[in-house]
Amino acid sequence: MLSRTAENLFWVARYMERAETMARLLEVGARIALTPSTGHGYRSEWESLLQASGTADGFSEKYGDPVQRNIESYLFFDRDNPSSVISCVERARENARIVRTAITGQVWDTLNTAFQEIRQIERQPRSEWEITELCEWVARQSALLRGAMDGTMLRNDGFFFMNLGYALERADNTARLIDVKYFVLLPSVEMVGSGLDNYQWQVLLRALQSYRAFHWAYGGELTASKIMHFLILNPASPRSLISATRKAMHHLDNLESFYEVEPGTGLPQMRAKALMTELNQTQVAEIIEEGLHEFLTRFIGEIGQLTALVQQTYLSGDAR
């Protein structure tokens, strides 16, 4: 497969996963806004969401104070924001259009329909939309795409590159979301373990649509260390760092086997395996000891390096 084709497929999945993360963030924001000022006296949660999405600077340049309506526009509809839902959907669809020959009709149809629909949505007055509806729409598009990929695509390199894109973007996004919780939402270290702390963990679980799953997995009581375990180390949790890493490793293995090279000899695999081994042996207590923020920063760096190796090995066309 052309390296450029592989790269485009990789980014189709990354953009759709990113769109979904943006939508999830927005939904959490909308939820907080409905709760009577739980976090009064502290920094606005809305602002934290901008931090979490990595778009705070762009927003403040354009709008100044974080006002809910503006944040909604910025995160969902604004083309000046490269991470907005509309930017991500349009870029996913454009990337897919470039590699029409490498995806199935149904996968194209899903992306193209999402693109047509978001343009319709954009044309209607904003007041006609509830933010929850919009977010559900994004989650549905994302699910439709995964379903179309799963149901119709050949199990070849194209499929593996798309799934690799999904896995790496998800690992990165989840890590950033957790980091924001820890670094931005919580004003001081004394607050750790307080009621506010627990409430914010809950918000995070909701952002990842894992609130109920958590309860099924751990029983009723919410504690910071259980939630950390769930979001970082629990292989049953679909958005945990360990799940995303395992998925990346799995598809790197698939690529090796598809290209009939000796298993485990590729640089990206070796890196992914090392990361996986580390996560397998890690305890929550060790993460707390290292410092959650430090741990996450290191993890995000690892994922970045893994992505760079994938780029070098497969997507640049330079490797022999």
Partner 1 sequence: MTEYFNEMFDGGKVRQPYSGLDGWMREMPSELRAMKQAEAEALFRRIGITFAVYGEGGDPDRLIPFDMFPRVFTQAEWRKLERGIKQRTRALNAFLLDVYGRGEIVRAGRIPARLVYQNDAFERAVSGFIPPRGIYSHIVGVDLVRTGPDQFYVLEDNCRTPSGVSYMLENREIMMRMFPQLFRENRIEPVDGYSDALRRTLASVAPAKCEGEPTVAILTPGHFNSAYYEHSFLADLMGVELVEGPDLFCEGGFCWMRTTEGPKKLDVIYRRIDDAFLDPLCFRPDSMLGIPGLMDVYRSGGVTICSAPGAGVADDKAIYTFVPEMVRFYLGEEPLLENVPTWQCAKADDCKYVLEHLDELVVKEVHGSGGYGMLVGPKSTKEQIENFRHKIEDNPENYIAQPTLALSTTPTFVEEGVAPRHVDLRPYCLVGEKIELVPGGLTRVALTEGSLVVNSSQGGGVKDTWVLAE
112 binds partner 1 (CB under 8 A): yes
CB of 282 vs partner 1, minimal distance in Å: 32
Which 8-state DSSP code applies to residue 76? Answer: I
**Nearer to partner 1 among residue 164 and residue 207 (C-beta):** 164
101, two tokens: 């020959």
94 binds partner 1 (CB under 8 A): yes
User: How far is the C-alpha of 267 from the C-alpha of 41, rounded, in Å?
Assistant: 49
79 binds partner 1 (CB under 8 A): no
311 binds partner 1 (CB under 8 A): no
97 binds partner 1 (CB under 8 A): yes
Task: Tell me, residue by residue from 158 to 197, as one string, x for binding to partner 1 by CB under 8 A and - for no binding.
Answer: ---x------------------------------------
Amino acid making up residue 310 = V
Amino acid making up residue 190 = E
User: How far is the C-alpha of 236 from the C-alpha of 247, rounded, in Å?
Assistant: 12
109 binds partner 1 (CB under 8 A): yes
Residue 249 CB partners (closer than 8 Å, separation 6+): 269, 272, 273, 276
Q: CA Rg, the chain, in Å?
A: 20
The CB-based long-range contact list for 209-213 (8 Å cut-off, 24+ gap) reads 209/24, 209/139, 210/237, 210/238, 210/239, 213/237, 213/238
Dihedral (C-alpha) 254, 260, 266, 272: value to the nearest 10 degrees? 10
Task: Tell me, residue by residue from 217 to 256, as one string, x for binding to partner 1 by CB under 8 A and - for no binding.
Answer: --------------------------------------x-
CB of 39 vs partner 1, minimal distance in Å: 43
Phi, psi (5° rounding) for residue 178? -65, -40
- The window from 122-130, 266-274, 292-300, 311-319 that contacts partner 1 (CB under 8 A) reads 311-319
CB of 22 vs partner 1, minimal distance in Å: 23
319 binds partner 1 (CB under 8 A): yes
- Out of 116, 194, 223, 280, name the contact with partner 1 by CB under 8 A: 116
Dihedral (C-alpha) 181, 187, 189, 195: value to the nearest 10 degrees? -70
106 binds partner 1 (CB under 8 A): no
- The window from 93-101, 127-135, 170-178, 227-235 that contacts partner 1 (CB under 8 A) reads 93-101
Which 8-state DSSP code applies to residue 82? Answer: T
Of 4-23, which residues contact partner 1 (CB under 8 A)?
4-6
CB of 161 vs partner 1, minimal distance in Å: 8
Longest dimension (CA), the chain: 60
Residue 242 CB partners (closer than 8 Å, separation 6+): 232, 233, 234, 235, 276, 279, 280
263, two tokens: 């298993």
- The window from 106-114, 124-132, 190-198, 236-244 that contacts partner 1 (CB under 8 A) reads 106-114
3 binds partner 1 (CB under 8 A): yes
Binding site for partner 1 (CB under 8 A): 1-6, 94, 97-98, 100-101, 108-109, 112-113, 116, 157, 161, 255, 259, 314-320
